[in-house]
Chains A and B, each alone.
Chain A
Amino acid sequence: MKKTGKHYLADKDIQVILGTLLRVGVIASMAVVFVGAVLYLVVYHSDTVDYHQFNPRKTEYSSISAIFQGLSRLDSKAIIQFGTVLLIFTPVTRIVFSIFSFLIERDYLYVIIGLFVLCIILISLSNKLVG
């Protein structure tokens, strides 16, 4: 019984850190998107929108390297995309953190499961999946 109590406590600490991590990620990324949004509206507010037909070539910032290049020019669209990428990586960071916490708990089965999920996400990062 004593053992399960200790286990629960460790899980509890991890849960508090996980919760904080997720919250900080969401707030930080939304702040970046908001800054980008203000700049975007200042520059492009009177342009005409055209989203009737999906055209993959029209989106300038469709890779992480392109987003960083745009970011160095302080382009508003790149700033918004950067915020979006931060948001996408918030749950991914959560997985990395979980892997470490399972490692500390010596729960190797879940270290492997976590690494497996992380690998799937890393595979999706390669451009080859998008013909």
Chain B
Amino acid sequence: MSVLLFTIIVLAGAFLAGLVGSLTGLGGGVVIIPLLTLGLGVDIHYAIGASIISVIATSSGSAAAYVKEGITNIRIGMFLEIATTISAVLGAVVTVYINPGYIAVLFGAILLFSAVMMVRKKVDHSDDNSTGVLANFFKLNGSYPTAAGTVQYGVHNVVGGFLMMFVAGVISGLLGIGSGALKVLAMDNIMRLPFKVSTTTSNFMMGVTAAASAIVYLHRGQIDPGIAMPVTLGVLTGATVGSKLLVKMNTDKLKIVFAIVVTFLALQMIYNGLAGKL
């Protein structure tokens, strides 16, 4: 395949990945890695390197908008980044020593989990009980503006959330994805933050977490300009268009369709990983 054709195919695929990723909240990495490996026969280590760069681009781009709205809890973000950066570097260092087949299987499992998280009905567990000792020590309790005025919220189970973030960081470093589904799980269900705060704060942290592992990938030669370029430009453009469309459309049906596609991709990744084809 010529460089020109490869670039055009990846650009188009990455655009779609970014578009659907931002409309469904799943992110672009989950589609781009199967596209590169299953679709174009690219080695999974190159796919991981390209994907992490697109994660930094999309998360920084959307964090820019969220941060200005004053919803992001910067203290929670910074505090949990201790866990995610250490573990992301660990994951990125270890990833090349693992059989690519196992990485593909793990990737498939995370894809399945993310698909379930996407269609699952979310329950807001947040409250304004701000008596947690660690939450007070680290000044994590906060407030955010809504149409009905400022809402106060308390942070629960800081230790549990911190440990879950450690897992999210390892996965992010191993697979080159943002692992937003795991981060939101830690914040929604364990630390019991309001949705808006958990989504925007998770997104805010993603850039730093991804930067930590991206530097390791760069030194190892996993970031090839010929792949990273179309992936990053495509995903970022797609995500930007997606965020504009998001305000105007109902994405419930799209999420179900996308969950089916993602499940199919996940099974393909697991099958190919077990069969030793990746």
A residues apposed to B, CB below 8 Å = 8, 11-12, 14-16, 18-20, 22-23, 25-26, 29-30, 33-34, 36-37, 40-41, 44-49, 51-59, 61-63, 76-77, 80-81, 84-85, 87-92, 94-95, 98, 107, 109-110, 113-114, 116-117, 120-121, 123-125, 127, 129-130
Contact = CB atoms under 8 A, between A and B. Distances in A.
Secondary structure class of chain A's binding surface, majority of residues:
helix
B85 A117 contact: yes
A117 B60 contact: no
B140 to A, nearest CB: 11
Given A51-B43, A84-B225, A120-B82, 16 more contacts: A15-B70, A16-B68, A22-B64, A26-B60, A36-B229, A49-B2, A51-B42, A52-B42, A76-B225, A84-B218, A84-B232, A91-B208, A121-B211, A121-B212, A130-B216, A130-B220
Nearest to B40: A51
Interface of B: 1-4, 6-7, 40-46, 53, 56-57, 59-61, 63-68, 70, 72, 74-75, 78-79, 81-82, 85-86, 89, 92-93, 96, 138-139, 143, 207-208, 210-216, 218-230, 232-233, 236
Q: Is the interface of B mostly helix, strand, loop or mixed?
A: helix
A84 B223 contact: yes
B85 A58 contact: no
A56 B222 CA distance: 7
Nearest to B228: A84
B82 A87 contact: no
A24 B35 CA distance: 30
A18 B6 contact: no
Contact of B223 (A47, A81, A92): A81
B60 A25 contact: yes
A129 B89 contact: yes
Nearest to B221: A59
Contacts of B210: 91
A70 B1 CA distance: 26
